């Protein structure tokens, strides 16, 4: 007779990692439905949104700032930004003082696509999380705590 595997969490519905994974898959599936018609992946949407957020604070947004904001690998960000540049949604140019840095800006078309995507994604978020309406701020707070606690791992 073989030995049983011992679990700390006795069933999937008591495992926070399992539940988070399931929730993430369902949420990503919902966002894919609204982003596919705009020819955007979720990662592309995140980067476009990040450029817009950062541009509201500074004219010279760099790829490194975009990567840092999202806890993304810098090389992956560079690759996705190249794709967005090919789609003519962003421009990248050399930084005036740091030759290693690139300044990233949304094009007019990029701003238009982002505004459409943002409206659709925010509405999808509102619908997705509507069943916990009054507890949404608590969920957001818990997620922020988990992100801050685990960011440097």
Q: Decide: 111 and 137 in contact? Cβ < 8 Å.
A: no
40: its two tokens: 């955007």
Task: Report residue 49: phi and psi, to 5°.
Answer: -65, -40
Reported pTM:
0.87
pLDDT (mean) for 5-14: 92
* pLDDT at position 96: 78
**More reliable by pLDDT, 95 or 22:** 22
**Least confident span in 4-8, 49-53, 85-89, 121-125:** 4-8
* pLDDT at position 120: 98
Task: Report residue 92: phi and psi, to 5°.
Answer: -130, 135
Alpha-carbon distances, residue 107 vs 2, 46, 111, 145, 151 (angstroms): 62, 16, 6, 35, 31
Tell me the average pLDDT of the chain: 93
């Amino acid at each position: 007779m073989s030995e049983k595997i011992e679990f700390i969490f006795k069933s999937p519905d008591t495992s926070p990692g399992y539940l988070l994974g399931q929730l993430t898959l369902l949420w990503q599936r919902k966002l894919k439905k609204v982003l596919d018609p705009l020819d955007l992946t979720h990662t592309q949407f995140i980067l476009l949104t990040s450029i817009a957020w950062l541009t509201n604070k500074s004219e010279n947004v760099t790829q490194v700032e975009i990567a840092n904001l999202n806890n993304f690998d810098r090389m992956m960000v560079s690759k996705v930004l190249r794709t967005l540049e090919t789609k003519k949604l962003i421009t990248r140019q050399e930084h005036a003082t740091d030759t290693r840095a690139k300044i990233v800006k949304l094009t007019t078309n990029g701003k238009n696509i982002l505004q459409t995507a943002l409206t659709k994604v925010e509405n999808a978020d509102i619908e997705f999380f509507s069943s916990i309406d009054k507890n949404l701020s608590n969920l957001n707070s818990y997620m922020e705590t988990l992100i801050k606690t685990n960011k440097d791992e």
